[in-house]
Structure formats: structure tokens, C-alpha cells
Structure 1
């Protein structure tokens, strides 16, 4: 196999697990994250274990020119890109007005803008392949408003809606688009979002990053539109669709109260 997969947010959590899984299947890798040290260690480990080519680019995806720089770098590495995993993203916990506006806009820049820009730049390459895949990582938070995670949940709703629309637009092309919507996952999300106070609660429901990655990739290769790992997560999404929005908002506000 001479196919490449590009993964953002690849140095830890779901992205790291996906990188190892795809390498195990014979894919060469293009890895994106902010930490050069973590990427170097991961690349060395995967290369030694799976004997695939691993290239990495340490870059902050929220920077204005990052997506174009990544696309240009990718094109210098290979013309055989067949998988794009838009995994990079994070959340901020707190009431909208009390959180830093700059930090919230930076989060949206990474969670939304970077996904749009990188996908737009790389679609011409993906469409040249016999078969290609885009996997956008959203969240079960996409299915309802979440007080104290207002913009994070809204950004994930955007990714889900965008993925479905793009999927339809590309239905007659070689590119299949899927959206992975995990629930609580052991990725360090709570700490990054400033939710240490809820860490104990999260641990009771967390799925492993490896299990989420396995489910996500399996669904991607099956060309599923939406992929929700875990029975309880699927059940919660079904319930969200059946119950009044005002009730769901009260429930989520209670779960994520400060």
C-alpha cells in the first residue's frame, strides 16, 4: 500500500490512536500537532513498530496561515493522500460572558475554520484518488445546546451539519465524508477545557481513545454518515431527539454546572 493519511491533533488521544491503527493497516502517515517533541516520539515509535513512512509537521492549526501551510507541505510529501482526519479541537468550560472572548474565538478558529480551510485545500488531491475518505471529529455535544459549553457544542453542531452537507455534495465523487461523534473520552479534554472539577464524573462514562478510534475508522471505511461510539452515547442521542429541547438544556446544565 502506498496510500497516505493526514491526521490533525495527532499527538495524543483519539488522533494518536487513529495514527497507530492506520499504520497497523499499512497506511503511511502525515501527522499534525503543536508539540514537536510528542510528534517526534510518536513518529519514531510508529516507524519502528509498523515500518511505514511517517512525516510530521508541528504547527498551531489556529494560526491564520496554518491550513495553507499544511496543504503545501502535504503536497510536497505525497500525491497519494487518501484519508483526511480533522481531529484537532478543544473546548472551554464556563458561562459565555465570563470566558475570555479571545480564547473563545481562538477555539472556534480551530474547531471550525481550520477544518473548513484544510478540507478545501486538500479536496482536489483527495478527489484524484480511486477512493478517499474525510473523517471529521465532532461530539455528542453536537446534538443539543450545552450551557457552560455553549460555543464548543455549537462548533460541534456546525461540524456535524457541514459534514453531512459536504457528504451529499461529494456523493458522486471518490470521496466519502463521515462524522465521528464520540461522547466522554479519555483524551484530556476535561483538563484542557478547565473542567477538572468534573473529572471524577467524566471517568465513570469515559470510553478509551483506542475504542473510539477503532469505531470511528471502521465506520469511516464503511462510509457511514454519522458514527456514534458506545451504546449509552447512541441512546443519549436518540433521547435528545425525542425530548423537548428545554428539558435537554436543563439536564445538560445540571451535568455541567460550575
Structure 2
């Protein structure tokens, strides 16, 4: 089986996607910041599923990191068949109150890293008889979300990029799929700086990373354009096409703004 490169593979949805791909027999290139966690995951997946799993500890938001990861991936797996752009995070709060540098780092990781990795690795993917790109976006991509304004905008960018690139690659061996999960039981609320009430709500109504990963990888391998896991998430995203934007934005603001200090 060819190799699959998964960014943000040490936890959450990225870890679950890596596990699901290993279960399907794919060899793995795993990238995240934590060397120890990656090494342990590679050992576990290699033993459980009899696949090769190679790791690279890297802060993808650092200047030039995406290029270095692409060089490493090209050397390790000339038969690369899957690229999963999963690394990313959110920042919760009012735009003017959040440090600009923190927001710029988030935008770099959420938008430019997938663009750079895809640009670097697309020639390699095109050499395969069948190859896939999976971009992990969010249901936040379908509307503006006050207090998560730049996060939602970055995910909208990734969704639009996926759609355009998919069309450009029609008729080639490479398909592009955009996975847009809703609330998922991961460390996202804590990483975003959300308070305990919001984190508890997300955990109560969220899907498991394993559920999201299985749906996402199945859609990717089937060559689907977009997938939103969960019936309620699908309905919520669909409603943004019919309900006035002022209404959806007010609803979103009501969910998040009231928890700000």
C-alpha cells in the first residue's frame, strides 16, 4: 500500500484518521509537534496493523516548516498516495482583544500550511494511479462566527480552496475532499481558550474523533467532494444557504459571546 501523510497526527481527529488509514492498510508519515507522542503512536499502529509508520516532529507554523516536511515526505515515500491536511486550531475571543501575533500564527497553520504542502506534494501525488487530498475544515466554514471570526474565515478559505483545486484536478488521478466536522470531542475548546461551559457543551453534543475520521476517510477514498459528519451538522450547514446571514450570525454570537468575560 502507498503512504499517507497526516499532519496534526498526535491527537484528536488527526490521530483518529491516522489510525483509520492504518486499519485500512496504508503506511503512514505522521507529523506533529510532539516527538514522544508520535513515536508511541507509530509503534502502536505498526504493531496493531502491520504497517510502516514514520514520524517527523515539527512545528508547522514555523517559517519554512511546510517545505521541510514536504522534502522529508518526498524522500521517505516516493509512492505517496494520500495527503491529509489536518493540522490547525482556533482562537476564541473578540478580534481586537486577541494578540495579533497569535492570530497570524493560527492563520499560517490553518491556511498557508495546507496550501504549501499541497503545492509541494501535488507533483508526487500525480504520479500515482490513484491519489487523494483530504483537507480538514469545519462547519464554521459555512458562516461567520463572531468570537471565532478568523478561525471561521480560515476554514472558509480551506473549503473554497478545496472546491477550486478539485475542479482544476478533474480528469487527473488526484481527487480532493473537504471534511467539515462540527463539534467533536477533542482538545479544540481548551486550545482555543474557551471557558469550561463551552467546553462542556462541546463534549456533550460532539461526535467522537473516531466517528469523524471513519466518515472522512471513507468519503475521501470514494472520491467525494465534501462531507459533513452527523445529521445535525448537515442540517445546520444547509440552513446557512436559506436563512439570512444576519440571523445565523446572531445565533452564533448568542452561543459564544455570552460566555466572554
Fold-level similarity (TM above 0.5): yes
Name the SS for the 1:29 alignment partner.
Answer: strand
Aligned length: 257
Once the 2 structures are TM-superposed, how far is the Cα of residue 187 of structure 1 from its aligned partner? 1.3
Once the 2 structures are TM-superposed, how far is the Cα of residue 78 of structure 1 from its aligned partner? 1.6
Quote the residue 1:97 is aligned against.
96
RMSD value, Cα: 0.7
Name the SS for the 1:241 alignment partner.
Answer: coil
1:221-240 equivalent positions in 2, closer than 5 A: 221-240=221-240
How far apart, in 2, do the equivalents of 1:249 and 1:136 lie? 25
How far apart, in 1, do the equivalents of 2:96 and 2:78 lie? 45
Once the 2 structures are TM-superposed, how far is the Cα of residue 221 of structure 1 from its aligned partner? 1.1
How far apart, in 2, do the equivalents of 1:52 and 1:248 lie? 45
Superposition TM-score, scaled by structure 1 size: 0.98
Once the 2 structures are TM-superposed, how far is the Cα of residue 52 of structure 1 from its aligned partner? 0.7
Quote the residue 1:39 is aligned against.
38
**1:107 and 2:106 correspond:** yes
How far apart, in 2, do the equivalents of 1:158 and 1:48 lie? 38
Once the 2 structures are TM-superposed, how far is the Cα of residue 196 of structure 1 from its aligned partner? 2.8
1:145-160 equivalent positions in 2, closer than 5 A: 145-160=144-159
Quote the residue 1:83 is aligned against.
82
Quote the residue 1:51 is aligned against.
50
Quote the residue 1:205 is aligned against.
205
Quote the residue 1:248 is aligned against.
248
- Superposed CA offset, 1:202-247 (max 9, x none): 1221000000000000111111111000000001011111100000
Once the 2 structures are TM-superposed, how far is the Cα of residue 199 of structure 1 from its aligned partner? 1.1
**1:176 and 2:175 correspond:** yes
Once the 2 structures are TM-superposed, how far is the Cα of residue 118 of structure 1 from its aligned partner? 0.5
1:62-73 equivalent positions in 2, closer than 5 A: 62-73=61-72
**Structure 2: unaligned runs, 5 residues or longer:** none
- Superposed CA offset, 1:146-190 (max 9, x none): 000000000000000000000000001100000000000011100
How far apart, in 2, do the equivalents of 1:196 and 1:95 lie? 14
**Structure 1: unaligned runs, 5 residues or longer:** none
Once the 2 structures are TM-superposed, how far is the Cα of residue 36 of structure 1 from its aligned partner? 0.4
Quote the residue 1:192 is aligned against.
191
* Misfit runs of 4+, over 4 Å: none
Superposition TM-score, scaled by structure 2 size: 0.97
Quote the residue 2:219 is aligned against.
219
How far apart, in 2, do the equivalents of 1:148 and 1:78 lie? 40
